[in-house]
Amino acid sequence: MTSTIKTEPFVINIGPQHPSTHGVFRIKATVDGERVIDAEMVMGYLHRSMEKLAEERTYTQNIPFTDRTDYLSSMSNNLGYCLAVEKLAGIGVPDRGNAIRVIMAEFQRLASHCMAVGAFTNDTGAWQTPVMWAFREREKILDLFEMTCGARLTCNYMRIGGVAFDLPKEFMPGARKLVQSLPGFIDEMEGLLVENEIFLVRTRKVGVLSPEMAINASLSGPVLRGCGVAWDIRKADPYCGYEQYDFDIPIGYQGDSFDRFIVRLEEMRQSVRIIEQALDALPGGPHSTQVPLALRPPRGEAYGRVEGPRGELGYYIVSDEGPSPYRFHIRPPSFINLSALKEMTVGGSVADAVVVLGSIDIVVGEIDR
């Protein structure tokens, strides 16, 4: 007689307190043995009601709120919000202010991607070398931020109409020295990992996402470009003069976790190209436009967006001619990109689910606003 072994699915929780969830976030996974057959996202542990609180503060006072959403890319968050307010109020930005914004946004992309690729290697089981290398370079970028605005993480540097301060005299030599050394670091990371057999086994064909699924789910950033879709707001809807800069849009071809990793490495190379061009062509003149302290934009609505390190970061603002926004809403890329997590994890192992989550590169602060 032959007997059939029957298994019974059971539910396990990855998080909310778990280093692989990159914050206070929980995956409620239903597993059959080691295979994931269902996955449910549980969020809200970090909700701070920022969007509602912003409706009681002036337009300028809301800038620090944006630092505390995606706290790994505060410059990009500041920029997206200021662009929305400037669009709403019809405020122009001097050429120098736009160039400085581009430099800071691309340095922020580099710093964020350093964190992303370093933490991702840890998720795949790598030892400490890659993440320490990545953090070493990130610290150099944060030194430039601190030199310019006095803060390293929550910079609060962008302003409606430009930036808060002009670049200090020691910024240019420090920035040029850094952009000269960064390509060597990117090459080191690539040489260490892209042919590593263990890393390839952990990432190739893991968390595969089709271009159709990515587009239908409104994904953006490296997660979308890793599927082969060459969509970048800096090219599709340029802002801050990005149309003046020469750079490429890296894409993947398999839509797996490895491609999302490679796209981020290639984006770092492109960011270095943009910064070099911006430093060489940095115009003179004022760094900001004078804006009333109690700004009262005309009645209306506006949506401003940037290509943040994680994808399309948008701010929707409605004005009733008061000193505060009547409505304030954020379109966070981490939240949207996370919507495809179930499709990417079902069918794989529990260990693969950790890799997939790491490849999305979420920041819980902007998921739970």
The predicted-structure confidence for 343-363, as pLDDT tens digits, reads as follows: 999 988 888 888 998 899 888
Number of domains in the chain: 1
CATH number at residue 148: 1.10.645.10
Q: Is residue 102 part of a domain?
A: yes
Specify if 252 maps to a domain: yes
* Residue 22: pLDDT over 70: yes
- pLDDT band of 219, cuts 50, 70, 90: very high
What is the average per-residue pLDDT within 197-224? 92
Instruction: Check pLDDT > 80 for residue 15.
Output: no
The CA-atom distances, in angstroms, between 61 and each of 66, 69, 335 are 10, 15, 25
Q: For residue 3, what pLDDT is reported?
A: 62
Q: Is residue 27 part of a domain?
A: no
Cβ atoms of residues 97 and 161 within 8 Å: yes
Q: What's the pLDDT score for residue 159?
A: 94
pLDDT at position 196 is 87
Cα-based distances in Å from 309 to 9, 50, 112, 305: 37, 21, 7, 12
Domain membership flag for residue 6: no
pLDDT score at 2: 62
pLDDT at 156 over 80: yes
The predicted pLDDT at position 33 comes to 85
Q: What pTM did the predictor assign?
A: 0.92
Does residue 39 form part of some domain? no
pLDDT for residue 177: 94
In a domain, 18, yes or no: no
Instruction: State the residue range of the domain holding 196.
Output: 48-367
What value does the mean pLDDT take over residues 258-283?
95
* Average pLDDT of the segment spanning 34-51: 87
Average pLDDT over residues 161-178: 94
pLDDT of residue 164: 93
Mean pLDDT on 244-256? 93
Choose among 164, 249, 256: nearest CA to 208: 256
On whether residue 10 sits in a domain, the answer given is: no
How far are the Cα atoms of 76, 188, 265, 298 from residue 89, in angstroms, in the given order? Answer: 20, 46, 37, 6
Q: Let me know if residue 84 belongs to a domain.
A: yes
